[in-house]
């Protein structure tokens, strides 16, 4: 990513669009706005944003439908969902179909900005010089390459979202440790866990589904009243320059 990150704000509320355009612009982002699904898809095609801030409820569809339609797009555009619904079902569905984060309305623009920066960091590893030589991690017949943000099985890439890859790396860097949901949320998203926050459970379910095979070992173990544990050996290796 070069220059100022380009953020697309999609919301049918003109006041929210204006507020976020001014605030995010003041934080150094380039901002484009859209008022509905049709407008959003046109902006995605024309402006190629680096991240989309996407309202769940739109007059001509839902943010979930947009999120689903963006799943197969390459390069994939990160999405932060905005939802005014008190129930967490739409948030969970959003994470399941590939959203990178969510934020409930009403929200503090400063928190949204922090979430945007965190997701962009996860999505743009090339911007950060590695602090040490890049390493690869081999586990359960898979290979994870942090510098390329890739996971490979049998020569084929496994498609992980930024949030899924970050969560996997937390386990690979701490093999054998039981990690609580609170710790996982703090390490991956930098925020405290709300008692009703199920985002870690959703991400774990997705990782299990994408990384496991019928003939392979159980990669992750659920520890009652403890959290989750990587249940397979990990071999860390220096990658070739």
Note the pLDDT tens digit of each residue in 70-83: 876 666 788 998 88
pTM over cut 0.75: no
pLDDT of 97 higher than 80: no
Measured CA to CA, the distance from residue 108 to residue 93 in angstroms comes to 23
| pLDDT score for 171 | 92
The residue behind tokens 């701490």 is 174
| pLDDT score for 67 | 84
Measured CA to CA, the distance from residue 79 to residue 62 in angstroms comes to 13
If you average pLDDT over residues 197-211, what whole number do you get?
Answer: 87
Using pLDDT thresholds of 50, 70 and 90, give the confidence band for residue 205: very high
Using pLDDT thresholds of 50, 70 and 90, give the confidence band for residue 128: very low
Percent of the chain having pLDDT more than 90?
A: 36
Architecture of domain 6-127: 3-Layer(aba) Sandwich (3.40)
8 A C-beta contact, residue 172 and residue 144? yes
| pLDDT score for 106 | 85
Assign 162 to helix, strand or coil.
Answer: helix
CATH of domain 135-238: 1.10.10.10
8 A C-beta contact, residue 199 and residue 93? no
If you average pLDDT over residues 183-199, what whole number do you get?
Answer: 66
| pLDDT score for 24 | 93
Q: Structural domain boundaries of the chain?
A: 6-127, 135-238
Structure tokens at 97: 């179909």
Note the pLDDT tens digit of each residue in 130-189: 445 457 899 999 999 998 889 999 889 999 988 899 899 999 988 888 888 877 877 776
Note the pLDDT tens digit of each residue in 31-48: 999 999 999 999 998 888
Note the pLDDT tens digit of each residue in 105-120: 888 898 899 889 888 8
Structure tokens at 153: 């099985």
């Amino acid at each position: 990513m070069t220059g100022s990150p380009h953020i697309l704000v999609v919301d049918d509320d003109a006041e929210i669009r204006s507020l976020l355009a001014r605030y995010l612009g003041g934080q150094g982002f380039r901002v484009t706005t859209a008022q509905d699904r049709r407008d959003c898809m046109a902006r995605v095609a024309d402006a190629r944003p680096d991240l989309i801030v996407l309202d769940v409820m739109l007059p001509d569809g839902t943010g979930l439908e947009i999120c689903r339609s963006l799943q197969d797009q390459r390069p994939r555009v990160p999405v932060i969902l905005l939802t005014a619904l008190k129930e967490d079902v739409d948030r969970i569905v959003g994470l399941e179909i590939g959203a990178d984060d969510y934020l409930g309305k009403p929200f503090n623009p400063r928190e949204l900005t922090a979430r945007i920066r965190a997701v962009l960091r996860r999505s743009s590893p090339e911007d950060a010089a590695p602090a040490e030589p890049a390493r690869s991690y081999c586990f359960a017949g898979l290979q994870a390459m942090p510098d390329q943000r890739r996971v490979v099985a049998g020569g084929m890439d496994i498609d992980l979202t930024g949030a899924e890859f970050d969560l996997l790396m937390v386990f690979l860097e701490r093999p054998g440790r039981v990690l609580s949901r609170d710790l996982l949320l703090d390490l991956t998203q930098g925020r405290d866990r709300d008692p009703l926050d199920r985002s870690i459970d959703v991400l774990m379910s997705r990782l299990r589904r994408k990384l496991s095979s019928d003939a392979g070992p159980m990669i992750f173990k659920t520890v009652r009243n403890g959290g989750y544990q990587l249940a397979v050996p990990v071999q860390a290796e220096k990658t070739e320059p």
